[in-house]
Amino acid sequence: MGSENKIVIQEMKTRIDHIEKLALELKKLGREIPAVEKNSRNILSAVYNLKFGISDIAEIDAA
Amino acid sequence: MPDMKVNYWNRYLETLPREKIQQLQLKNFRRILQYAKDNTIFYNRHYKDFDTDDIRTMDDVRRLPLVDKEDLRIAQDNKEPFPFGEMLGVTPEEVCTFRQTSGTTGKPVYVPESYESWQWRVEIWCHILWMAGFRETDRLFIPFGYNVYVAFWEGHFAAEKLGCMVVPGGALDTKGRINKILEVRATGLLNTPTYGIHMAETANKMGLDPRKIGIKRMVCAGEPLPQATRLILEEMWAAEVYDHIGGTEPCAWGAMCGQRKGLHIMEPHFLVEILDMETKSRAVDQGELGVAVVTPLGRRSFPMIRFNTKDVVRRGKDGCECKRTSMMIEEVAGRMDHLRKIRGVLFTPVSVEELLRAEFPEIGEFEIIVKRKGVMDEISLKLEIRREMGDQIQQELLIRLSERLKIKTNLRFHLIPVKLGELPRYSLKAKRFKDLR
């Protein structure tokens, strides 16, 4: 993989981590508000797929 | 050179060098194994003597005992939490849906999904549909009420995620479905091969040419799709026809790309081992038949570690002209469940379908029946002949078929021509093989 791609993947990983952190915070803030809790859960499910497809590659590249 | 930006669902993942794929697989295998041990009663017990940190190589993986369908049944049989039992990897409250196996080989198994796990499955199907060329401009018609059959649901949700327009075609008869395809100008189909053939035949009876209905691509599910049947479907519909392999328990784990020469294993989402059929301890070489043992590496609600799918496949090379680097399957040869010894000969019903579809276009529906006659096994083939023909021509056809079957299967069949329409038609899993011994 070219170095340009590695940089893009690392950048994407940083943003995926950021979205995850924000979604977890939102879920906590919205506790007992189903509209917030459930939509946060949905965001986290998408994050899970992004971690599988992108962050994992960044991690083995960094290792 | 393919256009890297549009031909891959995830170009980074799909073109990873082999050593990186294997690195990722082992890392994620350890992760899902530890998760399963920590969160399910079954795996905690099943792998109690194995430490996740000791799994460093594929040889280490192969030391772990396999899991098969009977383990799933036992883990669910009157076990809490009802009805998912001891393999449930999340709390029962997190289960948002479940699917069930078809019950072809015994009591159906409940397969529970959390929202996260369901989205993980849908993501796999996005890969499958994207590889088959589905894009936002497509209109996918799914000609079934899906009930608990998973592939059609996965295809439905994945097509929505891609941005296709999805048209569910349950609660209509076949003519109604063809009219609906025309009405919405559907461009794609997701169906069983049997039903794909049946719809084309019905369109013909309605005075329509299925080649001109507008279907550009079709993904088949629910049944084996021998190459000869796939080519017949392509010819009938003037469409690209794609196969995939998978199951309710392990998800879909292999699918065709635009080259349509074998199936890509969906690496690195899955760790797929193709093992020798007798001992299941040796990875087979390229070109060799083996049984597929599958570990979905991201599905946590119902972890499957080294699940013996009993699918018999021929291992292909690594990589393909499409530049994807995943391991390939050259051929899906059948299922261990369907392999039968008849008069001492190992027989798989797919070999009959392959022959009929490739060499005998005069023959439509068929059914294979094995019975005991005295001390001997007798194998019969009931067949519908599509068009009227004189007695002598029919006799010549049957003699030719009998010879070809003998060469292909090493068995002598008792051939029974029946009236057109006499054999059952199937929309979901066809049951063309009956072992009555």
ipTM of the shown complex: 0.95
CB-closest option in B17, B23, B269 to A52: B269
Q: How far is CA B174 from CA B150, B178, B255, in A?
A: 21, 6, 27
Please give the full DSSP string across B362-403, using - where no structure is assigned: TEEEEEEEEEEETTEEEEEEEEEESS---HHHHHHHHHHHHH
Same domain, B152 and B283: yes
B12 touches chain A (CB under 8 A): yes
What is the chain A residue with the closest CA to B267? A53
* CA gap B291, B304 in Å, rounded: 16
Q: End of a domain among B303, B336, B369?
A: B336
Provide the residue type at B200 as one letter.
A
CB-closest option in A42, A49, A60 to B24: A60
Question: CB B369: neighbour CB atoms within 10 A?
Answer: 16
| Residues contacting residue B163 through CB under 8 Å, at least 6 positions apart | B135, B136
pLDDT recorded at residue B4: 54
Q: End of a domain among B336, B363, B391?
A: B336
A12 touches chain B (CB under 8 A): no
Can you give the pLDDT of all 437 residues of chain B as single tens digits?
Answer: 445 556 899 999 999 999 999 999 999 999 999 999 999 999 999 999 999 999 999 999 999 999 999 999 999 998 999 999 999 999 999 999 999 887 666 788 999 999 999 999 999 999 999 999 999 999 999 998 888 779 999 999 999 999 999 999 998 999 999 999 999 999 999 999 989 999 999 999 999 999 999 999 999 998 889 999 999 999 999 999 999 999 999 999 999 999 999 999 999 999 999 999 989 999 999 999 999 999 999 999 999 999 999 999 999 999 999 999 999 999 998 888 777 888 888 888 888 998 999 999 999 899 999 998 887 889 999 999 988 888 899 999 999 999 999 999 989 999 999 998 899 887 677 788 998 98
* CA gap B124, B388 in Å, rounded: 46
At what angle are helices A3-29 and A34-50 packed, to 10 degrees? 160
DSSP class of residue B266 equals -
Please give the full DSSP string across B117-185, using - where no structure is assigned: HHHHHHHHHHHHHHHTT--TT-EEEE-S--TT-HHHHHHHHHHHHHTPEEEE-TTS-HHHHHHHHHHHT
Same domain, B109 and B71: yes
Same domain, B318 and B376: no
What number of C-beta contacts closer than 8 Å exist between A and B?
Answer: 49
* CATH code at position B392: 3.30.300.30
Q: Among B283, B183, B103, which Cα is nearest to B111's?
A: B103
Q: What proportions of chain B, in percent to the nearest 5, are helix, strand and coil?
A: 35, 25, 40
B120 touches chain A (CB under 8 A): yes
Give B119's contacts in chain A (Cβ within 8 Å): 42, 45-46, 48-49
Interface test with A, best of B4, B10, B12, B161 (most A CBs within 10 A): B12
CB-closest option in A41, A45, A57 to B12: A57
| Residues contacting residue B48 through CB under 8 Å, at least 6 positions apart | none
- Pairing relation of β-strands B139-142 and B340-342? unpaired
Tell how far CA B364 is from the center of its chain: 22
* CA gap B194, B367 in Å, rounded: 13
For residue B273, what are the β-bridge partners? B293
Given a contact cutoff of 8 angstroms between Cβ atoms, the answer to whether B286 and B306 are in contact is: no
DSSP class of residue B435 equals E
Q: How far is CA A61 from CA A6, A54, B258, in A?
A: 8, 11, 29
A42 touches chain B (CB under 8 A): yes
Query: Which residue range forms the structural domain that includes residue B186?
Result: 1-336
Same domain, B286 and B353: no
pLDDT recorded at residue B2: 45
Token pair recorded at residue B178:
């063809």
| Residues contacting residue A28 through CB under 8 Å, at least 6 positions apart | none
CB-CB under 8 Å, B12 with A54 = yes
CB-CB under 8 Å, B20 with A60 = yes
Give B120's contacts in chain A (Cβ within 8 Å): 45, 48-49, 52
CB-CB under 8 Å, A53 with B12 = yes
pLDDT recorded at residue A36: 97
* CATH code at position B54: 3.40.50.12780
CB-CB under 8 Å, B120 with A52 = yes
A49 touches chain B (CB under 8 A): yes
Same domain, B349 and B279: no
CB-CB under 8 Å, A46 with B13 = no
| Residues contacting residue B256 through CB under 8 Å, at least 6 positions apart | B131, B132, B242, B243, B244, B262, B263, B264
What is the chain A residue with the closest CA to B13? A53
Segment holding B95, helix H or strand E: strand B95-100
B23 touches chain A (CB under 8 A): yes
pLDDT recorded at residue B283: 96
Q: End of a domain among B336, B370, B390?
A: B336
The sign of the CA dihedral B181, B185, B189, B193 is: positive
Instruction: Report the number of distinct structural domains present in chain B.
Output: 2
Same domain, B364 and B422: yes
What is the chain A residue with the closest CA to B117? A45
Token pair recorded at residue B112:
């529970």
* CA gap B134, B242 in Å, rounded: 11
| Residues contacting residue B279 through CB under 8 Å, at least 6 positions apart | none
Same domain, B281 and B137: yes
Same domain, B276 and B350: no
Q: pLDDT tens digits, residue range A12-54?
A: 999 999 999 999 999 999 999 999 999 999 999 999 999 999 9
* CA gap A6, A14 in Å, rounded: 12
B161 touches chain A (CB under 8 A): no
Same domain, B208 and B87: yes
Same domain, B272 and B406: no
Same domain, B364 and B312: no
For residue B418, what are the β-bridge partners? B384
First to last CA, chain B: 54
Q: Which of residues 16-35 of A touch B (CB under 8 A)?
A: none
Give A5's contacts in chain B (Cβ within 8 Å): 12
Question: CB B206: neighbour CB atoms within 10 A?
Answer: 13
Give A56's contacts in chain B (Cβ within 8 Å): 24, 27-28, 268
Give B268's contacts in chain A (Cβ within 8 Å): 56
Q: Strands of B289-296's sheet, edge to edge?
A: B244-247, B251-255, B263-265, B327-335, B307-318, B289-296, B270-275
Same domain, B332 and B344: no
Interface test with B, best of A12, A44, A48, A59 (most B CBs within 10 A): A48
pLDDT recorded at residue B3: 54
- Pairing relation of β-strands B376-385 and B363-373? antiparallel
CB-CB under 8 Å, B28 with A57 = no
Question: CB A4: neighbour CB atoms within 10 A?
Answer: 8
pTM, 2 dp? 0.89
Question: Closest approach of chain B CAs to the CA of A40, in angstroms?
Answer: 12
* CA gap B426, B433 in Å, rounded: 13
pLDDT recorded at residue B350: 86
